[in-house]
Structure 1
């Protein structure tokens, strides 16, 4: 019998801001996975969480009271016709990568997005022409393993750490596209109807 505490996937709250920022910060400072140059302030990160939760899921993986990673969705594009699409992002604490947490987070995220009637998912992924100490192709491999396919590439569009990086878009369809699109259910409303 295992005594290892289970991993819980739950919606975040603004009370989680600092713990999530502690996960994100090293990606800004030491990798080209994100093209941000400066770690956001706690206030800015809290604002981002609040803004996301108005419409989309923002989920964290928790084990033994510690947050090990998070994933969230946001608008793919602001125009109304894109409402059935979402852009997804995921960050795992550096010492928890490769443990299956990312897959659990994305499965829960996809479950919530499907319940919202969102059909298309897009991931914007930094891509090195040649892997280096700041960026590998692991993120693209992770998404491919979960059913995402390459949709396009923008060559040498990001400049960080005195070098150029490309960016790829990967996509996944969550369900069939019928003649009638069901209305989108905001995530906050969804929380009152069903568990994540």
Structure 2
């Protein structure tokens, strides 16, 4: 591997490499060697920026959770526009059509990573919990605008949408066109006035 090469943002370069490995080969293939080889850097680069591999993975997950805040803001801004079904379909497709399914599998697969994430996120499954909150907040905004029933159980509906969305995308292949939209339509049917 090259040495002495300036890296503009080694953390981002390593995170991007980890995501590519995760998408291509799954969580069992994600090793420090696979990440540094994919990034085209010496293995020492990873260990210079992170205490160990689980520390690296925990920061990868935390970084993706922070990025979810941008998606949450966009979803909130969509409240009152378009259709609720289309907005939710787009949000779930953006969420699970990315590396999120692989990260969720990674959290489940690695006990050390889960233990580190539990230090600052003691409840729920990191990334899925934040995604559930994003969906519930959006649903609340739509309810406040009168586009969902006032008595709708938004927390349960948010969890239902996240869980169902995860299952639709977790098969490995992208779901057939319309599958996510049908799932969303059925899930929120009782909440629509």
Shared fold, TM over 0.5: no
Between Structure 1 and Structure 2, the one with more strand by share is: 1
Give the structure with higher Rg (CA): 2
